[in-house]
Structure 1
Amino acid sequence: MLDPHRTIDELKALRALTGDEHGAQRVAFTDTWLAARAFLKERLDALPVTQHMDAAGNWWATLPGESDRALLIGGHLDSVPNGGWLDGCLNILAGLEVLRRVSEQYAGRPPVTLKLVDWADEEGARFGRSLYGSSAASGHLNLDEVRALRDRDGVSLEDALKRVGITLADAPKAQGELKDAAAYLELHIEQGPVLEGLDLPLGAVLGTVGVERHTITFHGQAAHSGSTPMNVRRDAFLAAGRFGQAIYDIAARHGGVCTIGSVKTLPGIVTSVVETCELTLDQRHLDADNLAAMWQDAQDAATQFAQDAGCTVTFGSLWNIEPIPFHPMLIDAAEASILTVTPTAHRLPSGPLHDAAEVARAGVPTVMLFVQSLRGISHNRIEDTREDYIALSVQALDELTSRTMDWIARST
């Protein structure tokens, strides 16, 4: 029998084991992360599942079914430093509870195979590369790019992996884990304020938004701040400041989000007009055309503001990923599952990326459930969700699992 309150108790036990007064400390490939894995393995040992770590370091628990076609339930035990008690691990421990229920109902042999996966280093907090384990499984991990990554102590990703028994060069072999995957489900806290603003506990996720990240550098002329009249200055910061306001209009026009995350000025002294101002711009949208339009509007606005200020502007690319819509049938199933435990459901996109995005990129039908985050706060020790909503989320994931297993069985 499903027991959502057992999940809550296990979440609290994991918090006590792997957190401190500053928050969760389950940073990937550290001793605390290994302790979290041992915590999970100990509970899985009580079930009729096989367990193994794949070539990239992802941890799999498999409950064999009458069919080899597999339903995957996934999440991640790793956290950011001083993180919250629910981010990532809710997915895993709720999935564990679903495994228990399915194993009991079908006497250890469900109609389709059920797998629980703890993806390695979803957060990217230590080496700056998010979705490491799931991207290895999806075939989107570039070894040449990640081999040179180092943490703030100078430890390379390759050496950190080696310490926990993983050989980086073998990571792409993890692609074999998805060969029988028929669907993928992931439950996550929302990490934003939408559901709380609607006073709803749960939402069905439409997909993960596309992201465009660029540098925008305005080039003006340094000049003495005391002797240079305002009307003859070529102030790079003037152009940048006007651009900072314009991104809000661009975001509103297209229904996306735009963020200037950092600003660097040169010469960067109080007695000089700014000669060079470099911004980082992050733009996100669930629709590819709107995302492209936002980036074009940003370039047009930056060019105009540079001209108005007597400056020039250059653009650089940092990173991008296309929007990844989830499976329409599974979105419907997610909404229907929510409606079995609460009167109202809401569909919303995910602004943050998740392992679900990489699984969907690999061609596996995918969907996510969101549960409300109090104050919309995550990656922070004050991250929280009402316990009754956590219980509802476990029930909704269980219902979604049943519906998806039936769908897979019918299409086998």
Structure 2
Amino acid sequence: MQIDAGRVIADLRELAAASGGEHAGAKRLAWSPDWSAAREWLGGKLAELGDRVTVDRDEAGNLWAQLDGDGSTDGFVVVGSHIDAVPSGGWLDGCLGVMAALEVLRTLAAADAPPPVTVRLVDWADEEGARFGRSLVGSSAVAGTLDPDDVRGLLDAQGTTLQDALASVGVDLDAAAGARSRLDGARAYLELHIEQGPVLLDTGRLASAVSGTFGDERYLIGFTGQSAHAGSTPMHLRRDTLAAAATAALEIREVGIRHGGVTTVGSIASSPGVITAIAGASEMMLDLRHLEAEVLATMLAECRAACEDAARTFDCEVAFRRVFGATPTPFHPELVALARRAVDAAGGGDGPPIPSGPLHDATEIGRLVPTVMIFAQSDPPISHTEVEDSSEEALRVAIEAYGATVGGALELVAAGGLEAAR
């Protein structure tokens, strides 16, 4: 199947112009009015496809659009990604996959005959987790791994709870599990994304099939000591939680280096937060990732030990709250091979599939449904920033490869391949 890369890029630029500007920092924070406006824009694009495409929203806030097949094959193929963005994020992260999926539906809707398999587009809700620290909210609800009690009290920077943010757009956190039925009968999931890193640029490849995603553990770690006057409290008597957290953060960095993974302390917030007082309480945000589950577990144990050691050193207490976890997710080998051939045929260069360090909705869905991703080269090789970019050549290659991979997956399913999710 050939899809029009030029139209995908035009849609991306139109969305960027409506979301702040191509390199002005995307304004599509999940559950916000800006995000809702972007979804309305997407809804307008879907409405242009006519009555062959039906659109609705599930209990977790995910947006779905369906184009029925000819009835000859059971199940359906899912295409999509996410339209939400981090604050001041880039113009391609997530929405590249949504616009490519839109073009898949547009191409199929314009064909003389329906496809052999039903195709569903999905725009996953709150992939980024930028407001509340809990990524993949919509896809994890569909995958059955979202426990409302684990996320109920999460707050954004303004003190809004996650459940209140969901409620503001008509989503009930406690009813989100009802979205699980959306995968019943799914035969494949295919997602296009920018790489967000340097591997493809360093090797000169414009695109690549993706072998799978890293596992991830995400914690809030609270240190409790004693606030006291900065001038009258001797150094050896201080119960300084910021000192404990900072000491732990340096050792956590070594854990990532030692095991060939990545460990990140994204924030340390301390109180009372004044220049003349010792920090009596500090909360650390910890994220760690690795491609192997056993190594990830070892890294987590060592990070916890580093925090406990630092707490003892500074006479503090420490508590751990897990806010997110994802096991490493290898993608379906038959679909990975299909994507690799499509990338090569589109001019992206042949090379081994690369793993993804960043999480994606494919991480959740890939545990239940045969899944593959394709990456477009990032240049510069960074993301979650307004300067995020990819060359038009890389975008065209990746989009064309994605269309061909979707077409190949439809043929594979129509021929009886790939088992449906139950």
| TM-score normalised by length of structure 1 | 0.84
1:23 to 9, 22, 25: 25
C-alpha separation between the residues in 1 aligned to 2:172 and 2:310?
A: 50
Given the superposition, is the C-alpha separation of residues 332 and 29 from structure 1 closer, same or farther in structure 2, using an over 3 Å criterion?
Answer: same
Larger mean Cα displacement after TM superposition, 243-252 or 38-47: 243-252
**1:329 is matched with which residue: 326, 329, 334?**
334
Q: Distance in 1 between matches of 2:377 and 2:98?
A: 17
Q: 1:43 to 1:306 in 2, by over 3 A?
A: closer
Q: Deviations over 1:48-67 (max 9, x none)?
A: 32222222222211111132
2:420 corresponds in structure 1 to none
Equivalent-residue separation in structure 1 for 2:58 and 2:195 (angstroms): 28
Range with bigger deviation, 20-29 or 109-118:
20-29
Q: Is 1:115 aligned to 2:117, yes or no?
A: no
Partner of 1:97: 103
Summarize the Cα distance change of 1:90–1:272 in structure 2 as closer, same or farther, 3 Å threshold: closer
Give the alignment partner of residue 298 of structure 2, picking from 293, 296, 308. 293
Unaligned stretches of 5+ residues in structure 2: 418-422
Shift of 1:27: 2.3
| Aligned length in residues | 408
SS at match of 2:380: helix
What corresponds to 1:60 in structure 2? 64
What residue identity is the alignment partner of 1:328? P
Q: What is the distance in 2 between the residues matched to 1:354 and 1:330?
A: 17
Higher mean alpha-carbon deviation, 376-385 vs 272-281, is at 272-281
Q: Distance in 1 between matches of 2:29 and 2:336?
A: 31
Change (3 A) 1:198 1:109: same
User: C-alpha distance in 1, partners of 2:125/2:183?
Assistant: 15
Aligned mates of 1:280, 1:156 — CA distance in 2? 17
CA spacing shift, 1:217–1:19, aligned 2, 3 Å:
same
**Residue type at the aligned position of 1:125:** A
Residue identity over aligned pairs, in percent, reads: 42
Q: Does the 8 Å contact 2:342/2:405 carry over to 1? A: yes
- Deviation track 1:100-136 (CA, whole Å, cap 9, x = no partner) reads 333445x241111111111122223344432222122
Question: Aligned letter for 1:400?
Answer: T
Distance 1:280 1:68, change over 3 A: same
Task: Give the whole-Å Cα distance in 2 for the aligned partners of 1:348 and 1:73.
Answer: 20
Question: 2: distance between equivalents of 1:162 and 1:248?
Answer: 38
Which residue in the other structure is 1:80 paired with? Answer: 86
- Equivalent in the alignment of 2:392: 387
Q: Which residue is 2:403 aligned to?
A: 398
Q: Does 1:142 pair with 2:141?
A: no
Name 1:199's counterpart in structure 2.
Answer: 204
What is the aligned counterpart of 2:180 among 166, 175, 183?
A: 175
- The counterpart of 1:411, out of the listed 404, 409, 416, is 416
Distance in 2 (alpha carbons) for counterparts of 1:40 and 1:310: 53
- What SS does the aligned partner of 1:67 have? coil
Is contact 1:324–1:360 with CA below 8 Å preserved after alignment?
yes
Partners of 1:329 and 1:6 in 2: CA distance:
29
CA distance in 2, matches of 1:319, 1:85: 28
Distance in 1, matches of 2:37 and 2:240, equals: 53
Q: Which moved further from structure 2: 313-322 or 67-76?
A: 313-322
Cα separation, partners in 2 of 1:394 and 1:316, compared to 1, 3 Å: same
Q: 1:108 to 1:240 in 2, by over 3 A?
A: same
Q: CA deviation at 1:233?
A: 9.8
- When residues 84 and 229 of structure 1 are mapped into structure 2, their CA distance, relative to the original with a 3 A threshold, is closer
Shift of 1:294: 1.9
**SS at structure 2 position matched to 1:375:** coil
Give the deviation of 1:195 after TM superposition.
2.0
Shift of 1:289: 0.8
Measure how far apart 1:283 and its partner are: 1.8
Deviations 1:128-181 (A, max 9, x none): 432222122112222344454555555555554445444444322211111010
